[in-house]
Chain A
Amino acid sequence: MRRCLPLFLLLLAGVTGLTGANGVPPGRAALVAALLAEPDAQPAALRALVGVEDEAILPVLTAWKQGEVFLYTGADGVRIPFRLDTAPDDQGRFAALAVADGRRLLDAEGRPLSLEATALKPIDTDGAIRRAMRDVTELAALVAPDVATRVAAADRLGQGLKPEHRPLLEKRLQVESSPAVRRALHVALALFDLASGEPARQLAAAAVLEEKDSLAGATQLKTLIDQAASQPNTVDSAVVARAKSAVYSIETHYQVVNFVGTLFRGLSLGSVLLIMALGLAITFGLMGVINMSHGELMVVGAYATYLVQDLFILWFGKSGTAFSWYFVAALPAAFLGAAAMGLILERCVIRFLYRRPLESLLATWGVSLILQQLFRLTFGAANVQILSPDFLMGSVTIRDVTLAYNRIFVIGFAIAVVVALVLLLTRTSLGLTIRAVTQNRTMAACMGVRTDRVNMLTFAFGSGLAGLAGACLTQLGNVGPGLGQTHIVDNFMVVVSGGVGNLFGTVLAALGIGAFDQVLQPWLGAVMGKVVVLIAIILFLQWKPGGLFPSRSRNLD
């Protein structure tokens, strides 16, 4: 009798589905049937949903599990399962929405029904029902609209290895169009084959797993190899050999993937370093001023971003699309904030110290101490929290390499800054005067260039770049008063090893040091990696004391 029940219910579902000439899809009808069934029959009724493609199944089942599906018995004795609307009306009541078609239920008089959530008794679940639900949800996920959900479902089914799932996977493979899901389905099917114990199918499965570079496949292949080692005659020797080569190939692939991923992270870190170092290179190379407070100017940019974020939260709230745009507003704010600070610094301190690098180093260190303490007094010693805007969250995966959007953005932004800087230096009159002052200050002054003003603007511009770097850094890490100090040594290294005043050298050195640092870190740990980088730079300067591209000059000093 029990065995017949599902059939009966399926029939019932079919009937209701057919009677639903008003457009109730088959999945929902079956769902309603399952909800209305006797508790004993509910698991079987639920299993009838397996393989039915309907987007509505998943949310309803989730709601059921959480006790958010209720039963309404109309005047004519018809029972209708329903859910409550998400938001209450002004009397604190919720509109009742039918599970079958999502329409509002009507009471006896034909008025829309509103109910109080506390007065309702949800449809119960028990262990058997929840197990059945899990089966259904797993399979329902296979037809979910979201690609990532489908991939995850295929992965899960491949791990689960339940024989009854195999036909469903095959069926899905025939209609599936997304390459990522197809790949996951292939892998899942190959895992089924691998577990089948037939040498021919296992060989084919190993080939598929190798081709698809499946990490889960590698694990399964390894257990197979282990099994062959412990119980020799259970696995075919050809299969073992094939499995070994497949594992090797897959592992090599992931080594490459990890390496590229690390390189990418290094590149993004190098990009921040680059934006910051460009500012330093300008002030150091073009003006002969060592600015130890450059790191703090960067922190000014980071805190400016923080302030803009807080303003946006104040105006627009934390959720909502408007908030995401705070970062776009924060970039100019960070630039201007740091540039203004740089301007003050230049007028009050730096301008007395042109061409006296040692003194400028000392005085700006004093400035950096003062700024750090001011940050601590204003924003507190703890790190401040900066949320990423929506469009910088998430990532894209290309050939198993995960590229986070925020890192892609930083790299792109650095490229934009470099291009803008090159254009500024070569295509504008300010750039022309900057280069003139760099080459020969006295001569430029004789030709009528107001060197004092050029210095001022250049310094402010360099500081603004530091501010931009700070804004970018908020997307990659924490922001605290000591942030500048952790980056300043790296920055000087970039400027020195790139060749002072050479922007191209700075670019190469920043990216090189950033990538080198990240590549070494997995092997040596964060600290040793840094130490090795520093030692490498010291040795590199033995070989090229002027950096990558030393500035040519007939001056001895």
Chain B
Amino acid sequence: MQRTVLLSRGQWMVFGGITVTLGVVLPLLNVLLVPGHPLQVSDFTLNLYGKYLTLAVLALGVDLLWGYTGLLSLGQALFFSLGGYAMGMHLMLMIGKRGQYKSDLPDFMVFLGYPGLPAHWQPFYSFWFALAATLLVPAGVALLFGFFAFRSRIKGVYFSILTQALTYAAALLFFRNDFTFGGNNGLTDFKTVLGHELNDPGTRRTLYVLSVALLGGVFLLGRALTRSRFGQIQRAIRDSENRVLFSGYATAHYKLFIFALCAMITGLGGALYVCQVGIINPSEMMPDKSLEAIVWVAVGGRGTLVGPIVGALSVNALKSWATRAYPDLWLIVMGGLFILVVLFLPGGVVSVPGRVSAWWRRRQARRTAAGVAVAEKPVPAPGEKSAESASTP
């Protein structure tokens, strides 16, 4: 077996450069320069970027499942929200007596007339328990659901539809007031995390840097995973699951592992998201949120690790701008963008340079070898490959 390197020298340099820019330079620009300076990054902007970065983690989770394993899960928003809720519960308890009702209970519990803190809320006083829960609760749900789904060989669209139903059912549950998670309004009004004020720019900066670190870490993890033997089997399952199965691999185990792993990654992203956004409610786990994440991956380029990040950041930046500039048209733009990408650019934005250069090389070849031009075959984008294999019965 050939020795695989995580990143080549050049790639490390690019990776390091981007990480340092995002994780060190931007926060420094925020701290050192006075507000109003042209290069100053405002607290708001930094917080916004932090939010985008956690969404990019969600996108990476989607891509590891969809782009690499062929599992189009419409339930990723659920795992993201579960992680968010686990962290939100801790933050909620940390409000203490500073809430509206000056009670030890979270506000919504006072409002809804709870006699005391429900037993399953008790352990969330501990930050580390909450952190563990952000990983283990999504993983547990994913394992349970995945076990049943993969055992009975539910795949393809059926898997998508069932995960959609799962997240929809969960959202309906969380919308209920008596489900002890705040119902419609969810969890909000957080004050502190680990003793630091959430409103404090310093805390926000730290959370931002943590988001950069998490995204970088998840990227490297994904890189390691997809370049390993496991990654090869992953892609083999995507391209022809039956062949892998008949070669003696228990594909269900592989799928279960990656499904649970992605749930954990996504859950962590959700936890950091909630710290920075300051609210989590059940609408975050509606199926459309999962689909939105899939749009980011599709636009960026599935089956690559850079694509989802590019997609999540660019589509969200576009969304932030368009929802303010053209609130009525935003959904139409997003829907149209999605249709166009699915129809005409299966490899996403990151495949554009490859396509352009392939087109350029073909053109050059045709020019130089006029007459006996053997047009070079373009390298198919990873997305196309899976599309072709899906279309063969």
By the criterion CB–CB under 8 Å, are B157 and A358 in contact? Answer: yes
B11: CB under 8 A from chain A? no
By the criterion CB–CB under 8 Å, are B332 and A373 in contact? Answer: yes
Q: Which of B153, B298, B328, B342 contacts A545 (CB 8 A)?
A: B153
What mask results when residues 134 to 158 of chain A are scored 1 for a CB within 8 Å of chain B, else 0?
Answer: 0000000000000000000000000
Partner-binding segment picked from B46-54, B84-92, B169-177, B219-227 = B169-177
- Known: A356-B387, A369-B335, A545-B154. Contact between A489 and B291, CB under 8 A? no
Residues of A within 8 A of B145 (CB): 538
- Known: A538-B162, A545-B152. Contact between A363 and B328, CB under 8 A? no
A12: CB under 8 A from chain B? no
- Known: A356-B391, A367-B335, A368-B335. Contact between A496 and B148, CB under 8 A? no
Bound-complex Cα distance A535 to B343 (A): 34
Q: Which of A290, A373, A555 contacts B157 (CB 8 A)?
A: A290
By the criterion CB–CB under 8 Å, are A362 and B242 in contact? Answer: no
By the criterion CB–CB under 8 Å, are A365 and B338 in contact? Answer: yes
Q: Which of B152, B287, B343 contacts A363 (CB 8 A)?
A: B343
Bound-complex Cα distance A496 to B152 (A): 14
Partner-binding segment picked from A268-276, A312-320, A525-533 = A525-533
Residues of A within 8 A of B154 (CB): 541, 545
By the criterion CB–CB under 8 Å, are B391 and A355 in contact? Answer: yes
A197: CB under 8 A from chain B? no
By the criterion CB–CB under 8 Å, are A366 and B336 in contact? Answer: yes
By the criterion CB–CB under 8 Å, are A489 and B168 in contact? Answer: yes
Bound-complex Cα distance A485 to B171 (A): 14
A357: CB under 8 A from chain B? yes
Residues of B within 8 A of A493 (CB): 161, 165
- List residues 360-382 of chain A with CB under 8 A from any CB of chain B: 361-363, 365-370, 372-374, 376-377
Shortest Cβ distance from B168 into A: residue? A489
Residues of B within 8 A of A349 (CB): 339, 343
What mask results when residues 479 to 499 of chain A are scored 1 for a CB within 8 Å of chain B, else 0?
Answer: 000000100010011001000
Residues of A within 8 A of B287 (CB): 489
What mask results when residues 239 to 252 of chain A are scored 1 for a CB within 8 Å of chain B, else 0?
Answer: 00000000000000
By the criterion CB–CB under 8 Å, are A358 and B72 in contact? Answer: yes
- Known: A531-B169, A541-B152, A545-B153. Contact between A367 and B339, CB under 8 A? yes
- Known: A352-B343, A541-B162. Contact between A369 and B334, CB under 8 A? yes
Bound-complex Cα distance A542 to B151 (A): 8
Bound-complex Cα distance A544 to B262 (A): 27
Can you name 23 A-B pairs with beta carbons within 8 Å?
A: A349-B339, A353-B343, A355-B393, A358-B156, A361-B72, A361-B160, A362-B295, A366-B337, A366-B342, A367-B339, A369-B332, A373-B328, A373-B331, A493-B161, A538-B148, A538-B149, A538-B162, A541-B154, A541-B162, A542-B148, A542-B151, A545-B152, A556-B242
Which A residues fall within an 8 A CB radius of B?
290, 349, 352-353, 355-359, 361-363, 365-370, 372-374, 376-377, 485, 489, 492-493, 496, 527-528, 530-531, 534-535, 537-539, 541-542, 545, 555-557
Kindly list the 7 A-B residue pairs having the minimum CB-CB distance in the complex, ordered from nearest. A366-B338, A369-B335, A370-B335, A373-B331, A366-B335, A534-B169, A366-B339
Which B residues fall within an 8 A CB radius of A?
72, 145, 148-149, 151-154, 156-158, 160-162, 164-166, 168-169, 172-173, 175-176, 241-242, 287-288, 291, 294-295, 298, 328-332, 334-339, 342-343, 346, 387, 390-391, 393
